[in-house]
Amino acid sequence: MIGIAISLYDKFDDVRLLVDIIRENWEKEYYISICCNHPDAEAKLDGIDADSIEQGAQIAYSPEMDGQRGHVNLMCRVHDTFRRACQNAVEAECEYVVHNHADAWMLSENRFQSLVTELRQKNRKAAVRGWDPTYRRPGFWMGHPMDQYIVFDAKYCEEISFFDFSPLELLPHTTNHTGLMLLLLGRIGLSNIWFYSDRHDDQWWDNREKHIIHGVRTAIYVPEWEYLHVATESFPDDYGKHIQAGYLRSHGLTNGAFIEEFLSEYDKPLSAVNDELRQIEREQNKRLQRLGFQKEDIGRKFIEKRKRLDSPLSEKLKMLARNVASEGYYGLMQAIHRFPLAENRRFTGHRSHRKLYRDVEWPQNNINELYSEVVTPSDYPPDVRDIWFSDYENTDE
């Protein structure tokens, strides 16, 4: 049997729809394993048709936390739910296991089965969607593997204890993608990994543009594999849910109590949804350009743009000043280095959480000391408190 491992925090509607897709619309039987680190996970997921439901480690996090502490804790929560959801499917003696987040859906059972079949034929141990280790950009040191639509040989993972790791050991000051690549390279090995998609086939949900899309927000569709990822919270009002409903209908995924109720509530045609979103987008972009934002800065994140546009006048004036100064800098770099402006902008990315990096010329602290300063031990329950850095006990609050 194939296992489908799903991790989430509070996307309860999404996970119920995903389970309906698998249970009520697919032909084969699958082992569904869910891990949720919401404190009320058991009650929130009551009645869902899953074989395994586990509450993830209660690692402290809130958006109000200090940037470095909050980022490390959030990445650890992501790694923890990923490993628990997958390990439960492995322990159920599944042959293969695929991991997805609750809002990442596989809309075609046939395409998913063909992926597993090809992985078996290639005799590889993992099928990974994303960029291999030759890819570099600020924040991503060794490629960019996606932790969704990733398939593992479950028996092999059991043999090598692949999912037996501490989230704090995956350098969570970087990104969950970098941590996953460390795990893949260190335990499975490059010769055992099949990078089946470099994401050049990603497109926006409305197919407005065809180009390399670096993220999965606000929503993407992958025609080659019939994947859909919709971050509904990134859209205004209920537009994200209408997009989900439109794709469910277009793929004939209409069975299941929750799906039927969902389709009844969100019945606006996808073409109308896209027309309305394009109008919203045009208006937002026009107003943001008056504040000095360029096309490369704006993206398609409706809610982030709304927050900027709804900010006080004083903040808008600061945005305008920063953007004008930045354009002057980019223009100077373009003149000096003769890079195209878009390329120059792309390669002058900043390092996030700067304190957790050091300059090679004059290093002040090593990684043990830095983590001792940033990590608060009481944020972590004992079962994920495997500490590799020094002075741990002295940092507890």
Per residue in 151-195, pLDDT (tens digit) is 999 999 999 999 999 999 999 988 899 999 999 999 999 999 999
Average pLDDT of the residues in 285-297? 79
User: Using a CB cutoff of 8 Å and minimum separation of 24, what contacts does 215-219 make?
Assistant: 216/104, 216/146, 216/148, 217/301, 218/300, 218/301, 218/302, 219/243
Assess whether 89 and 104 both reside in one domain. Answer: yes
- Expressed as residue numbers, the domain containing 367 is 356-395
Per residue in 130-158, pLDDT (tens digit) is 999 888 776 677 889 999 999 999 999 99
Among residues 179, 198, 217, which one ends one of the domains?
198
In a domain? residue 117: yes
Assess whether 113 and 148 both reside in one domain. Answer: yes
Assess whether 36 and 160 both reside in one domain. Answer: yes
Query: What stretch of H or E contains 79?
Result: helix 67-91
Best-predicted range by mean pLDDT (64-68, 125-129, 286-290, 369-373)? 125-129
In a domain? residue 154: yes
In a domain? residue 236: no
The pTM score is 0.87
Assess whether 84 and 143 both reside in one domain. Answer: yes
Does pLDDT of 224 surpass 90?
yes
In a domain? residue 32: yes
User: Considering only 24-28, 214-218, 264-268, which range has the smallest mean pLDDT?
Assistant: 214-218
Assess whether 43 and 167 both reside in one domain. Answer: yes
Distances 379 to 62, 64, 69, 85, 135 between C-alpha atoms, Å: 11, 14, 10, 21, 33
Tokens 């709804």 belong to: 310
* Number of domains present in the structure of the chain: 3
Does pLDDT of 246 surpass 70?
yes
Assess whether 185 and 320 both reside in one domain. Answer: no
Rounded to the nearest integer, the mean pLDDT of the chain is 87
* Residue 256 CB coordination number (10 Å): 21
Q: What percent of the chain has pLDDT over 90?
A: 61
